């Protein structure tokens, strides 16, 4: 049975990735209210233990996981490692004496506890000594309500505030000024300041390499020469080929041999990884990871039966979809400087064509918008269970490649 998972990044004040919230279903068809919250939480634990593993989806970052009243009273969090998860107490949970006893036990055993979508009630004060994080929906909570919550926890300085649904850089800075320490939302994947920025020589070289490799018949001698005339690129290529994910039988003695070892498909991915890394200097790590997930996922979708787009174009579409956030410039302006095919430009700038559908499906997965994802699958003629596995595989792949970069 397929196990569907989405993850949403949680960043700190320095925009560093500190955790993911994990959201699970058995498939895209299992959307609320068809699946009870208790069943969903049970499936999360089962999937993490037997199917995916926490390290697969979080790359050794903390995993925020929702727990219901019943699963908390039954001590389900104890089935997962205390140093890898944050126990989120859902907003639907009632603050009973039995729940307080369960939370006390979790804290005594070393677990981190968070109150999810918190709305202040005096009864929750009893839980403050055992609470590490309070999550507040930034979209629906007024500044006055936030200040009231801050006043209520003033005697508990260990409690940190996390702002959910932060979608713009302006909201991020506002929330930080209000005292929030952690931020969940996709503000980091949007341009911070729309301004004109040119490509420096190294970025332009990589962009040209990526464009050359996106063609059906790349000019391998020219690509080899480009690497050979750039010491930095050559070093990174050779280092990449040393990874244990490639089963080499002999040592690498030339750039041409390194290219042969990788093969065209993996070379395309490697250059795209360099491309993303070049543009995400001083940007959140989550931005690079997201671009890699999108690239791999779009590529995988294009290879399914009945799909007409090429894998190379699909991969490049996913990779370029966050270029405006990487460079803080309008996407149309940036793509106008690169020799990108009209099909890719139409997908990215106009939202047209099958490549745009792949990208929209990837975004639906990121947002855990199951109903929208199911609709996109139906429109593209893709099997839901298969798409589920492709997304999880894309997350695995992106995590490995980002670490290698």
Tens-digit pLDDT string for the chain (405 aa): 344 567 899 999 999 999 999 876 544 444 433 444 545 555 555 555 444 556 667 778 898 988 888 889 988 888 888 998 999 999 989 999 999 999 999 999 999 999 999 999 999 999 999 999 999 999 999 999 999 999 999 999 999 999 999 999 999 999 999 999 999 999 988 887 655 555 666 777 787 787 777 767 788 888 888 888 887 888 888 878 777 666 655 667 778 888 888 888 888 878 877 877 776 666 788 888 898 899 899 999 998 988 877 767 888 889 889 888 888 888 888 787 776 778 889 999 999 998 999 999 999 999 888 888 888 888 888 888 888 889 888 988 887 766 555
For 197, half-sphere exposure in the C-beta direction (CA atoms, 13 angstrom radius) is 19
What pLDDT does 86 receive?
96
Cβ(291)–Cβ(402) below 8 Å: no
What pLDDT does 178 receive?
96
Q: Is 171 exposed, middle or buried (0-12, 13-18, 19+ CB in 10 A)?
A: middle
- Cα separation, 405 vs 140, in Å, equals 39
Cβ(68)–Cβ(91) below 8 Å: no
What pLDDT does 39 receive?
53
User: In degrees, to the nearest 5, what angle opens at C-alpha 15 toward C-alphas 13 and 21?
Assistant: 95
Establish whether the linkage from the previous residue to 33 is cis, with ω within 30° of 0.
Answer: yes
What pLDDT does 1 receive?
38
- Give alpha helix (H) positions in 281-383: 285-302, 311-320, 323-327, 331-335, 342-345, 354-366, 370-380
Q: What angle, 0 to 180 degrees and rounded to 10, lies between the N-to-C axes of helices 231-241 and 255-279? A: 110
CATH T-level assignment (fold) for domain 4-189: TIM Barrel (3.20.20)
The structure tokens 């931005």 sit at 287
CATH T-level assignment (fold) for domain 201-404: Hypothetical protein af1432 (1.10.3210)
DSSP labels, 138-189: TTT--HHHHHHHHHHTTT-TT-EEEEE---SHHHHHHHHHTT--EEESSGGG
Looking only at the bridges linking them, the beta strands covering 182-184 and 4-12 are antiparallel
- Cα separation, 151 vs 179, in Å, equals 12
Residue ranges of domains in the chain: 4-189, 201-404
What pLDDT does 246 receive?
65
């Amino acid at each position: 049975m397929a196990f569907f998972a989405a993850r949403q990044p949680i960043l700190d004040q320095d925009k560093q990735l500190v955790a993911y919230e994990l959201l699970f279903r058995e498939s895209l068809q299992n959307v609320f209210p068809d699946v009870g919250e208790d069943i969903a939480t049970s499936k999360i634990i089962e999937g993490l233990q037997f199917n995916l593993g926490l390290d697969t989806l979080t790359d050794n970052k903390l995993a925020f996981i929702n727990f219901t009243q019943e699963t908390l009273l039954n001590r389900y969090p104890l089935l997962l490692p205390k140093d890898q998860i944050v126990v989120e107490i859902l907003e639907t949970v009632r603050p009973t004496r039995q729940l307080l006893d369960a939370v006390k036990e979790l804290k005594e055993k070393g677990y981190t506890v968070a109150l999810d979508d918190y709305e202040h009630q005096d009864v929750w004060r009893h839980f403050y000594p055992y609470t590490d994080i309070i999550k507040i929906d930034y979209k629906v909570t007024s500044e006055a309500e936030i200040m009231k919550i801050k006043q209520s926890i003033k005697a508990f300085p260990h409690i940190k505030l996390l702002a959910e649904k932060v979608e713009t850089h302006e909201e991020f800075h506002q929330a930080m000024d209000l005292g929030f320490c952690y931020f969940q939302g996709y503000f980091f994947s949007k341009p911070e300041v729309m301004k004109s920025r040119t490509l420096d020589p190294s970025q332009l070289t990589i962009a040209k390499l990526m464009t050359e490799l996106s063609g059906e018949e790349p000019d391998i001698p020219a690509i080899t020469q480009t690497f050979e005339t750039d010491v930095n690129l050559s070093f990174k290529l050779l280092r990449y080929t040393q990874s244990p994910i490639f089963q080499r039988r002999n040592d690498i003695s030339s750039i041409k041999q390194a290219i042969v070892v990788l093969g065209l498909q993996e070379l395309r991915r490697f250059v795209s990884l360099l491309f993303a890394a070049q543009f995400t200097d001083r940007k959140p790590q989550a931005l690079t990871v997201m671009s890699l997930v999108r690239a791999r996922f779009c590529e995988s979708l294009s290879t399914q039966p009945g799909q007409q787009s090429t894998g190379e174009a699909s991969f490049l579409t996913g990779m370029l979809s966050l270029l405006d956030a990487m460079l803080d410039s309008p996407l149309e302006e940036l793509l106008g400087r690169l020799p990108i095919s009209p099909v890719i430009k139409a997908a990215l700038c106009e939202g047209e064509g099958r490549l745009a559908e792949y990208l929209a499906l990837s975004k639906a997965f990121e947002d855990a918008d199951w109903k929208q994802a199911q609709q996109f699958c139906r429109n593209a003629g893709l099997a839901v269970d298969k798409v589920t596995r492709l997304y999880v595989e894309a997350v695995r792949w992106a995590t490995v490649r980002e670490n290698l970069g």
